[in-house]
């Protein structure tokens, strides 16, 4: 990875003008989140990474990425235009709370803001992209429930310590936990992220765990298997 771009097997991501660069969280969600159906929404698309990963995984889907950062949307458009999926993926400047689509979505993906500290980083764009106050869970989740089709899925990646709160908000909106993947950087460290998938259908939950690295710092086999279609 250079400071300005990241090359994947089927597309490249330029991220020099985006507050949030290509990172492990986005790649994880893009590879793990459910992307079935014909209409997919990526909330907070940033560089367009997750939207493009969804398009690669589901060749029959149309994917819409939305973001409130104008620079990010412009860069996502450029990344999309240079990809093999440009006819099926769009990026628009939009606040999810004001989104009034003509369709409901079969899959919604979101790597939501997760900083909740009162003191924000000096980089205002990065702060906005990562601060939960700009898109609090209590407002995001009810909106997602209205955008999601009756058979659709909602997949997110969040800090592990936020899981109980997030699941509670979803349950209050009729969104039931279907899959949970607890992410460890190494086997000896506590989980840092958790990936969750919800749907409007109540049922059992598939529990998973993922360790990203071996003790020697190399990529784990499980992480390599999950991302094999993307990482070079």
pLDDT in tens, the chain (232 residues): 457 899 999 999 999 998 888 999 999 999 999 999 999 999 999 999 999 999 999 999 999 999 999 999 999 999 999 999 999 999 999 999 999 999 999 999 999 865 434 334 455 444 444 444 556 899 999 999 999 999 999 999 999 999 999 999 999 999 999 999 999 999 999 999 999 999 999 999 999 999 999 999 999 999 999 999 999 9
| Amino acid 2: pLDDT | 55
| Amino acid 64: pLDDT | 98
| Amino acid 20: pLDDT | 82
CATH 3.40.50.150 fits 5-226, yes or no: yes
| Amino acid 225: pLDDT | 98
Are 132 and 112 contacting, i.e. CB atoms less than 8 angstroms apart?
yes
| Amino acid 114: pLDDT | 58
What are the extents of the domains in the chain? 5-226
Model-wide pTM > 0.85 = yes
Strands 62-67 and 39-43: parallel
Strands 176-184 and 206-211: parallel
Q: Which two tokens stand for residue 68?
A: 């409130």
């Amino acid at each position: 990875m250079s400071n300005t771009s990241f090359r994947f097997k089927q597309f490249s991501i330029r991220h020099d003008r985006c507050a949030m660069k290509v990172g492990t969280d986005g790649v994880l969600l893009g590879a793990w989140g459910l992307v079935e159906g014909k209409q997919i929404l990526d909330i907070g698309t940033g560089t367009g990474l997750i939207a493009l990963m969804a398009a690669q995984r589901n060749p029959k889907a149309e994917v819409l990425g939305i973001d409130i950062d104008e620079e990010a949307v412009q860069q996502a458009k450029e990344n999309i235009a240079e990809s093999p999926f440009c006819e099926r993926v769009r990026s628009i400047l939009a606040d999810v709370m004001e989104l009034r689509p003509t369709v409901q979505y079969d899959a919604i993906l979101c790597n939501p803001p997760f900083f909740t500290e009162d003191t924000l980083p000096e980089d205002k764009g990065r702060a906005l992209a990562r601060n939960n106050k700009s898109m609090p869970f209590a407002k995001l989740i009810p909106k997602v429930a209205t955008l999601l089709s009756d058979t659709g899925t909602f997949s997110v990646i969040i800090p592990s310590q936020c899981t109980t709160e997030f699941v509670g908000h979803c349950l209050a909106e009729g969104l039931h936990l279907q899959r949970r993947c607890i992410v460890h950087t190494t086997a000896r460290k506590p989980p840092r992220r958790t990936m969750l998938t919800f749907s409007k259908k109540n049922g059992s939950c598939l529990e998973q765990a993922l360790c990203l690295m071996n003790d020697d710092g190399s990529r784990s086999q499980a992480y390599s298997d999950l991302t094999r279609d993307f990482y070079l």
